[in-house]
Amino acid sequence: MNKGSGFVEPLIINCALLGPTGSKKSPITGVVIGPIKKLQADEELRHKSMMDDYKRACKAEKGKKKTEQEEHRRAGKV
């Protein structure tokens, strides 16, 4: 893969934990999956923050363009 290609392959983890009923499979799964869920939650927060920044920047740019257009219109009418 080319690092600069922009292609992203999502991480997919498949596992199977086999055992009889009552053999404490769920707690083991929690130990393995817990840190992954924490990483996922952290990345979701980071993504939300970045999207909020992006939206603010887009809104600011849109306002800047609108102001420039108004200035050009005024300059043409003077």
Q: Mark the ranges of the chain whose per-residue pLDDT is less than 70.
A: 1-3, 77-78
Residues for the chain: how many in total? 78
**Residue 46 backbone class (left: φ over 0; alpha: ψ -120 to 50; beta: rest):** alpha
Q: Are 14 and 8 in contact (CB under 8 A)?
A: no
Q: How distant, in Å, are the alpha carbons of 9, 33, 45, 55, 66 from that of 40? A: 15, 10, 9, 22, 38
pTM over 0.85: no
Distance CA 48, CA 30 (A): 26
Q: What is the percent of the chain where pLDDT is above 90? A: 42
Domain limits, the chain: 27-78
pLDDT mean across residues, the chain: 86
